[in-house]
């Protein structure tokens, strides 16, 4: 498996180029094929450079080269546990990113974005 982190996970390390970013995601996509842990299937979203798991999680490469995993706020805990256990069992290094929801315009909205709306009195 070639999913070893390019960055150190501590905010240091090289910035990954597009080729490295795509290669890491392709490796995970290949590993995910046929796996029940990727409930709902896994699709490649080239325009966003992300792998989408069903409608409840996605993977992207962060700015320092780590594989970042985000879950929908309403994801089922068993599905989350199965997916993260699969990653650990296959020695796939990853970092958990913040939870997200999807707005009425089908845009991903992270928890930190909604928290700022609440603080600004928008919600």
So what's the pLDDT on residue 88?
Answer: 96
- 25 and 31 Cβ atoms separated by less than 8 Å: no
Look at residue 81 and tell me whether its pLDDT is greater than 90: yes
Does the pLDDT value for residue 22 go beyond 70?
yes
Percent of the chain exceeding pLDDT 70 equals: 79
Region 25-36: what's the mean pLDDT?
Answer: 93
H or E element at residue 20: helix 18-32
Q: Considering only residues 121 and 104, tell me which one the structure prediction assigns the higher pLDDT.
A: 104
The residue behind tokens 């990113």 is 97
pLDDT at 64 over 90: no
Strand (E) or helix (H) holding 64: none
What's the pLDDT score for residue 13? 54
10 pLDDT tier (thresholds 50, 70, 90): very low
Gap between the Cα atoms of 15 and 94, Å rounded? 16
Is the model's pLDDT at 8 over the cut of 80?
no
pLDDT of residue 2: 43
Question: What span, in angstroms and rounded, lies between the C-alpha atoms of 22 and 104?
Answer: 29
How many whole angstroms separate alpha carbon 7 and alpha carbon 73?
27
| pLDDT interval class at 115 (50, 70, 90) | low
């Amino acid at each position: 498996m070639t999913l070893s982190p390019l960055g150190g996970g501590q905010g240091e390390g090289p910035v990954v180029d597009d080729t490295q970013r795509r290669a890491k995601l392709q490796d995970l996509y290949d590993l995910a094929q046929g796996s029940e842990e990727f409930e709902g299937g896994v699709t490649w979203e080239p325009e966003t450079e992300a792998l989408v798991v069903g409608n409840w999680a996605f993977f992207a490469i962060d700015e320092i080269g780590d594989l970042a995993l985000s879950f929908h706020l309403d994801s089922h805990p068993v599905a989350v546990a199965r997916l993260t256990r699969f990653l650990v069992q296959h020695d796939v290094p990853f970092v958990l990113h913040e939870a997200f929801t999807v707005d009425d315009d089908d845009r991903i909205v992270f928890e930190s974005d909604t928290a700022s709306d609440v603080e600004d009195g928008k919600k």
